[in-house]
Structure 1
Amino acid sequence: MFGLSGTAPFGLSGTGSSDYREPKPCAKPRNCCTSGPLNYPNKESYGFLLTTRRLCADDSSAPPAAGASTHFANPPLTHVTLVWQEGVREDWLRFGKPVAERIIDRRTRIESYAPRQLFALARWAANDFGTVRSALDIVRAVGRTEPYTTVPQVDPGGELLLSVRTWPRVRRVLALIDAVEAGGTDPCAAAPDYWRHAHNRLAAGLPPRAYAPGRHRVWLRRRKLWP
């Protein structure tokens, strides 16, 4: 099929090669905890199945434990809507450790994150002419008094650390996340400043620096100073 206006010859609309279909298989499984169905009524379920995430013992991005000293007893949650219709619309979390999950139907679910948790939301869609959307956002969930940026499918929004569009750029960010994991660091626990750095370098057409173990140790010491 010939490409539409503004695309490379013999390519589908908005694509330069056959890799526009690469998101079709589900992405690499996230490093997250298992979930189980709730067996008691919940006023927020509205008739839908609710599950909870069991927080990992080493989940440094998890919210404070019950009984811990916090300014608010019930911190607000950030809700992420995910739709999966293979080959048409495919949303997934490359990383993230939700504290709750709501199953809406066979294609849609909502994951919820507590303040300060990080997650990477990938969104891909296509039609008969090719890819119409390839995007990846790395977001930090915020508290009640923190400013936030609106992000599609994220309610109410969050602190946007990295945002890229087009599949080649999304693939580069996925490779960066793989490299962070290969270095022994959970992307959920990586320094937010690193993802800002990666965003700025990619926007300038420069390769981001590697996330070194030393940088992560400095971040862990800095985080201990949080109130």
Structure 2
Amino acid sequence: MSVILRPGKSSAIEASSLSFDGMTRVELIWLEKQTEFWIRFGNGAGEQVLNRSRRVVFFMPGSVFAFVRWAASDYGTVLSCLDIVRAIAAGNSYQTLPFVRPGGEILLKIEGWPKVEKVLRYVDAIESLGIDAADVDPDHWRHVAHWMKAGEAPRPYTAERHAAWLRRREIGK
């Protein structure tokens, strides 16, 4: 079992020498064309490789990440989900989510591949502005979730809106 720390560290480190206590753990699985769980965006604090098809990514409290789950059977797709989650600090309340331990604050939850694809395109549009999707205002992800569930198009996230969020976040510190 090896552990890789990110960012900036590329060499494997012994698992026993690290402590991931207090972090949110996300189990990722990749069995091509069968089960594919991956992180679309987010700044992981570390990664533990379990085997060729499984690994665990760790997130610091307050980190925002997108977790995509897709699974198929002999008859086609059986699961398509995208969750945008904020990792929680120890002792805080949280919502449970499969393969996320202990859980997190779910900012957006979408099911069904057509809707998941729309959110992925939305994330691409935000990143095309030069904005890291993990730094987007959490309220905006809630806005996207509500409007998509209502079958409407959410407001676009703009550089101006992002700058306003960054100023609000600085004031709140």
TM-score by length of 2: 0.90
How far the C-alpha of 1:44 sits from its partner, in A, is 5.6
Aligned length: 168
Unmatched tracts of structure 2, length 5 or more: 1-5
Q: Please give the secondary structure, in 2, of the residue aligned with 1:138.
A: strand
Q: Please give the secondary structure, in 2, of the residue aligned with 1:36.
A: coil
Q: Percent identity?
A: 41
Given that 2:7 and 2:45 are in contact with CA atoms closer than 8 Å, whether structure 1 keeps it comes out as no
Given that 1:75 and 1:114 are in contact with CA atoms closer than 8 Å, whether structure 2 keeps it comes out as no
Structure 1: distance between partners of 2:89 and 2:70: 28
| Aligned: 1:79 with 2:79 | no
How far the C-alpha of 1:35 sits from its partner, in A, is 4.4
Structure-2 change in CA distance of 1:84 and 1:96 (3 Å): same
**What is aligned with 1:170?**
116
Match of 2:73 among 91, 110, 127: 127
The one-letter code sitting in structure 1 at the alignment partner of 2:41 is F
Structure-2 change in CA distance of 1:34 and 1:168 (3 Å): farther
Question: Counterparts in 2 of 1:144-163, with a 5 A limit?
Answer: 144-163=90-109
The one-letter code sitting in structure 2 at the alignment partner of 1:37 is S
How far the C-alpha of 1:184 sits from its partner, in A, is 1.7
Q: Which has the higher helix share?
A: 2
Q: Which of the two has higher C-alpha Rg?
A: 1
How far the C-alpha of 1:75 sits from its partner, in A, is 7.1
Of stretches 107-116 and 74-83 in structure 1, the one that deviates more from structure 2 is 74-83
* Root mean square deviation of aligned Cα: 1.9
**What is aligned with 2:47?**
101
Q: Please give the secondary structure, in 2, of the residue aligned with 1:145.
A: coil
Q: Which has the higher strand share?
A: 2
The CA deviation string for residues 113-168 of structure 1, in whole angstroms up to 9 with x for no partner, is 00110100000000111111000000000112322100111000000000011100
Q: Please give the secondary structure, in 1, of the residue aligned with 2:10.
A: strand
Unmatched tracts of structure 1, length 5 or more: 1-31, 46-73
How far the C-alpha of 1:40 sits from its partner, in A, is 5.0
**What is aligned with 1:137?**
83
Q: Please give the secondary structure, in 1, of the residue aligned with 2:88.
A: coil
How far the C-alpha of 1:92 sits from its partner, in A, is 0.8
| Aligned: 1:42 with 2:16 | yes
How far the C-alpha of 1:103 sits from its partner, in A, is 0.3
The one-letter code sitting in structure 2 at the alignment partner of 1:168 is P
Q: Please give the secondary structure, in 1, of the residue aligned with 2:155.
A: coil
How far the C-alpha of 1:225 sits from its partner, in A, is 3.0
